[in-house]
């Protein structure tokens, strides 16, 4: 089945850019998502990209997709303390209804 | 748009008891999903409904678990004879056709 990998921790200074990386195994993946989870809460959809796109920008968020390497990244510009949370990469493959998630990257923003 | 609503937010029960969780999806969404999330892990898929039909079940969904969506609106997830390993956050999500899934805040289950 699909496997999604993320690094577990990232620490950045307030005002810097954060880059969170994700790799996946299923080349038939059609949609790729980034969700944010704050302590004790559910998952908030941040952004997503369709597999025929290379890049998507949404305000401070930039998603890059390298289909050849099966690599997805999320860049957060001008990172703020409110961005501290766990970020999950999730993949939706063709012919399946389920999302496959990575273990999440805990982003810590240092004031 | 009131978002996905889950009830209760927290449930503490003794091992061996039955528990039931409820999920109210976003009103126009025809698809509903249940996931389970344990500490330090990403959510894992449990089951999927399109309207009232349960179309996909994970092998994680043992015979002690049952889910329903009787009228294609709200859904319930029941766990019978709970075990320590059932302690987790149970997340519900909904979507409209192939649109992104939107999640509720989850029900945290603790087994004593």
Structure tokens at A77: 């510009």
Interface contact flag, A100 B100, Cβ < 8 Å: no
Question: Looking at beta carbons, which residues of chain A come within 8 Å of B42?
Answer: 4, 88, 90, 101-104
User: For A78-89, what is each residue's pLDDT tens digit?
Assistant: 999 999 999 999
> Residue A104's closest CA among A30, A60, A38, A27?
A38
Residue B97 has pLDDT above 90, yes or no: no
* Per-residue b or e along A53-91, where b marks 16 or more CB atoms closer than 10 Å to that residue's CB: eeeeeeeeebbbbeeeebebbbebeebeeebbbbbbbbb
pLDDT tens for A22-72 read 999 987 888 999 999 999 889 999 999 999 999 999 999 999 999 999 999
Condensed to tens digits (0 to 9), the pLDDT of residues B14-57 reads 999 999 999 999 998 999 999 999 999 999 999 999 999 999 99
- pLDDT for position B1: 56
Neighbour count for residue A51 (Cβ, 10 Å): 16
The arithmetic mean of pLDDT across residues A9-31, rounded, is 94
Number of H helices, E strands in chain A: 0, 11
pLDDT at B94 over 70: yes
Cβ atoms of B19 and B78 closer than 8 Å:
yes
pLDDT digits (tens, 9 = 90+) for B63-92: 999 999 998 899 999 999 999 999 999 999
Q: Assess whether pLDDT exceeds 60 at residue B93.
A: yes
As a whole number, the mean pLDDT across chain B is 95
- Mean pLDDT to the nearest integer, A68-77: 96
CB contact set of B19 (below 8 Å; sequence gap of 6+): B11, B13, B78, B79, B82, B109
How far off is chain A from B49, nearest CA to CA, in Å? Answer: 9
What is the pLDDT at residue A77? 98
The two tokens of residue B90 are 């149970």
Tokens 């890059």 identify what position? A64
Residues of B at the A interface (Cβ-Cβ below 8 Å)? 4, 6, 31, 33, 35, 40-45, 48, 50, 55-56, 58, 91, 93, 98, 100-106, 108
Query: How many other β-carbons are positioned within 10 Å of the β-carbon of residue B55?
Result: 11
CB contact under 8 A, B43 and A41: no
Q: Which two tokens stand for residue A45?
A: 């959809």
In the predicted model, is pLDDT for residue A5 greater than 90? yes
């Amino acid at each position: 089945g699909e496997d999604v990998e993320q690094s577990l921790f990232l620490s950045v200074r307030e005002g810097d850019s954060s880059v969170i990386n994700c790799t996946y195994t299923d080349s038939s993946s059609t949609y790729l998502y980034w969700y944010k989870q704050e302590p004790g809460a559910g998952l908030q959809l941040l952004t997503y990209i369709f597999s025929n796109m290379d890049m998507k920008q949404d305000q401070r968020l930039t998603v890059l997709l390298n289909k050849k390497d099966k690599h997805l990244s999320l860049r957060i510009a001008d990172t703020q303390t409110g961005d501290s949370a766990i970020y999950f990469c999730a993949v939706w493959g063709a012919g399946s209804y389920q999302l496959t998630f990575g273990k999440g990257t805990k982003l810590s923003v240092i004031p | 748009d009131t978002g996905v609503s889950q009830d209760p937010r927290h449930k503490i029960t003794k091992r061996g008891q039955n528990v039931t969780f409820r999920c109210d999806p976003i009103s126009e969404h025809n698809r509903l999903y249940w996931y389970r999330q344990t500490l330090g892990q990403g959510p894992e898929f449990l089951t999927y409904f399109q309207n009232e039909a349960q179309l996909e079940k994970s092998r994680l969904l043992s015979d002690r678990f049952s889910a329903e969506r009787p009228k294609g609106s709200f859904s319930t997830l029941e766990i019978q004879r709970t075990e320590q390993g059932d302690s987790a956050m149970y997340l519900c999500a909904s979507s409209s056709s192939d649109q992104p899934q939107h999640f509720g805040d989850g029900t945290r289950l603790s087994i004593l």
